[in-house]
Amino acid sequence: MSYPSSLLLARSLPPRMKTRLNRFIESPPFAAQPAVYRLWKWWLKHPYQPIDKEAAFAEAYPDKSFRSADWYLLLSRLQRMVEQFLVWEEVQQQEMEQYYLLQKAYRRLREEKLYKRSAQKAKKIRAKRNKLEASMLYWDYAMEKDFYDYIASHSRQERTNLQEVSDQLDQFYFAEKLKQACLAHSRKIANQENYDIHLLSIIEMTLRERTSLLDVPAIRIYYDCYKAVVQGGEEEDFQQLRRSIIQYKNGFPRQEIRDIYYLAINYCIRALNRGGEAFAKEALSLYELSLSEGYLLEDGHIPESTFSNIVSLGLRLKRYDWVRLFIQNQAVFLRPVFQESLPAFSRAKLLYECGQLRDALRELVIVETKLPFLYLGTKSLQLKIFYEQEEWDALDSLLESLRVYLQRRSDLGYHKEHYQLLLHFTRRLLQMPPSDRIGRQSLAEEINNTPAFREREWFIKQLE
């Protein structure tokens, strides 16, 4: 028999919340359901044992014979009570929303004085919070809409706040649509997911005509992000985004600012791939800033892709001492599964850049290569070392194992194209005599004209 969902839910609660749930079920509004209360008390005594439904039922209904229909109804009532408790807990955390709900209740009761007092209190709390995200704009709209309903229900002659209602709705809608466009772009980068966010051209046209809307921080920051990152704007668009991040970051939830940081960094990476070397410094600066402010941690951990990108950028800028300290100090924030292999791989890259090829190979032995990105990264670094040390047999064996791996894997996405090109260009390089200047120049041009290939710099160096 599967464990009842209502009891699974109760079991998942933290101890302190479980204590509050116990008081909640004991409170007078719910004491009218003694059978539910008795079932709950029985479960507290046997929280991790398999459910003996007949014994539990007998505890809940001492004078009643067991019936499956009654048992499942009892569980349903307990589930409903636990859910009501969770709603209650959530409402207690939302002081501003409590006053909003209270003023709606006062409006239904036609308590005009109390309604106005609650509305004023909610607005004061809102002003103190200094929250700038789009969800707050929706709250502002909801407050204005409720006030409109209040005015309209009292007097049809009095002027209403309908203009304010409309303006607040515009602000929320524009901010949220621009945010969705940026999030859709982020998902496309990470997972090749495609979304069609409608009406963006109309929003752009409206913002050009109603520039005052850009004074709204949520519209400003997402519009800047949309122009720079989604549309691939000019450097001035990127700098405007940086200014907006600095100006408004404290008014947004950490998750939102982290996403915006990542999008700004993506702009730098894309510019870097197009040859804008100055953007390596910009990208690392953004990483350093977001790292120092704690934005890079997700559930207390640095994502492995972020860790790898920071190391790569630091090496590109030849900040070797900084990279060494970064690996040493930040490895502890990786998820446990990566805390040994990824720092070892990163140290190997650092040693390679410092010309310590043998030491780099020894670090690579530590790397657990079951995960594709670590396997492929390790093979790429070994390939360079074997080529530079003229270990041709080892290199030939590596290329064959890499070919088989790529052939078998169908889950590599756009990365697969890069590694297939790595195989192709390495074979070409190995087959080309050093004296074949025309052939080497032709291969260099082909590599330079292949945007998906990320090892361009190393290959050009070998060809030269």
Higher pLDDT, 314 or 148: 314
Distance, in Å, from the CA atom of 217 to the CA atom of 211, rounded to the nearest integer, reads 13
| Domain ranges within the chain, ordered by starting residue | 5-92, 369-464
Per-residue exposure over 22-31, b if at least 16 CB sit within 10 Å of its own CB, e if not: bebbeeeebe
* Mean pLDDT, residues 53-68: 91
Q: Which of 119-123, 146-150, 237-241 has the highest average model confidence (pLDDT)?
A: 237-241
The first and second tokens of residue 37, run together, are 């209360």
Helices and strands, number each (H, E), in the chain: 24, 0
Asked if the model's pLDDT at residue 61 lies above 80, the reply is yes
Question: pLDDT at position 14, please?
Answer: 86
Three-state SS at 366: helix
pLDDT band at 26 (very low <50, low <70, confident <90, very high): confident
- According to DSSP, the residues that pair with 301 across neighbouring strands are 298
pLDDT band at 96 (very low <50, low <70, confident <90, very high): confident
Question: pLDDT at position 51, please?
Answer: 82
What is the average pLDDT score of the chain? 90
Lowest mean pLDDT among 259-273, 311-325, 342-356: 259-273
* Mean pLDDT, residues 77-87: 89
Residues in the chain: 464
Secondary structure (DSSP) of 425-454: HHHHHHHS-TT-HHHHHHHHHHHHT-TT-S
CA 262 to chain centre: 9
Lowest mean pLDDT among 30-39, 93-102, 273-282: 30-39
Secondary structure (DSSP) of 243-291: HHHHHHGGGS-HHHHHHHHHHHHHHHHHHHHTT-THHHHHHHHHHHHHH
Three-state SS at 293: coil
Query: What pLDDT digit, counting tens, does each position of 411-425 carry?
Result: 887 788 889 999 999
Question: pLDDT at position 9, please?
Answer: 80
Calculate what percentage of the chain has a pLDDT beyond 90: 55
Question: pLDDT at position 156, please?
Answer: 66
* Mean pLDDT, residues 135-157: 84
Distance, in Å, from the CA atom of 391 to the CA atom of 403, rounded to the nearest integer, reads 18
* Mean pLDDT, residues 127-136: 86
Q: pTM of the entire structure?
A: 0.79
Question: pLDDT at position 363, please?
Answer: 95
Question: pLDDT at position 2, please?
Answer: 62
Report CA dihedral (366, 372, 378, 379) to the nearest 10 degrees. 130
* Mean pLDDT, residues 85-96: 88
* Mean pLDDT, residues 399-406: 94
Task: List phi, psi (to 5°) of 61.
Answer: -125, 80
Please report, for residues 422, 429, 441, 445, 448, the alpha-carbon distance to residue 438 in angstroms, rounded to integers and kept in the order given.
21, 13, 5, 11, 15
Question: pLDDT at position 416, please?
Answer: 87
Asked if the model's pLDDT at residue 1 lies above 60, the reply is no
